[in-house]
Amino acid sequence: MSRLIVPVKKIFILLLLLALSFSALWIFFSAPAAAERIGDHYISINGSEMGAANIVTAVLGGFRGLDTLGEVTILFLSTTGIGLILSMGGQYFRWLQFRPHAVLTAAIPYLFTAIVFYGVYIIVHGHLSPGGGFQGGAVIATGFMLLFFTDSDHMIKKKAIYISESLSGLSFVILGVLGLVLAGSFLMNFLPHSVRDTGRLLSAGTLPLLSLFIGIKVGAELSGLAQSLIGRKEHKEVDK
C-alpha cells in the first residue's frame, strides 16, 4: 500500500481559510455606504479648526491626536521591551556577522546627510504635503541604520536616545494639556491657524510642532531599535 502523498490536512486548511476570508471580505465590501461619514465632517471643519493643507495629518495630529499618543506609547513600550529582552542574560553581542560592501562604505558619509535632511523635510512639511512625523522619523532612522551597518563602532549613546524620546513625548503631552487649558479640549489647536495661511510653512497652529515631536520620537526610537538589534561589535563569549 503506497503512502498517501496528497497533504489532505493542508489542503483542508487552505480551503477552509479561503471560504472564511472570502465570506468576511464579501460582508465588508457589500456593506452599504454610510450616508454621513466622520471623514467628511473632518474635511468640512478642517478649515475652521486646523487650517492644514494635508487633512490626513490634521486627523492624525489634531482630531485623532489621542490615538497617536497611544500609538507612540505602544512604540515606546515595544522598544523598551526589546532593550530589556536583549540585555537579559548578558549575551548581548553582534548578531549580524558581515563586512559592509565598499559601495555602501564609500557612499554613506555623503548619503547620511542627504537622508537625514530629507527626513527633516518630510517632518517639517507634514501639514502641507504627504508626510509627517512617522514617515520622516522612519527616514531618519534609515539613515542611522545604514550608518550602523557601515561602521559598527559608530554608536549613539543610549542616554541621548532616551533623553530625546522622553523630551519629545513629554512635549507632545504638554501641548495636549495646553490645548485642554487654553482652548477647552485635549490637543486642541490653540495657536493661530487661519485659513488664509493654509499652504504656508508656518500655518495650522500646533500641527507642525506635533509632527516635529512625533518625528523626533519615532526617529530616536527606531534608531535605538536598529542599534540594539545590530548589537555591539565585540563578542562576549558565553560560558558553556
Note the residues at the interface with other proteins (CB under 8 A). Answer: 10, 13-14, 17-18, 21-22, 25-26, 28-29, 37-40, 42-43, 53-56, 58-60, 64, 67-68, 71, 74-75, 77-79, 81-82, 85-86, 88-89, 91, 95, 129-130, 132, 134, 198-199, 218, 225, 229
Amino acid in the structure at residue 217 = K
| Closest to other proteins by CB, 48 or 113 | 48
The strand ranges marked E within 63-131 are none
- On whether the CB atoms of residues 219 and 227 are closer than 8 A, the answer is no
| Closest to other proteins by CB, 29 or 98 | 29
Q: How many CB atoms lie within 10 A of CB 213?
A: 25
CB of 77 to other proteins, least distance (A): 8
Cell numbers given for 65: 491626536
Backbone angles phi, psi at 162, to 5 degrees: -60, -45
Helical pair 102-124 and 133-150, crossing angle rounded to 10 deg: 160
CB of 184 to other proteins, least distance (A): 22
CB of 38 to other proteins, least distance (A): 6
CB of 155 to other proteins, least distance (A): 18
| Closest to other proteins by CB, 3 or 10 | 10
Write down the H helix ranges in 58-157: 65-87, 102-124, 133-150
| Closest to other proteins by CB, 101 or 200 | 200
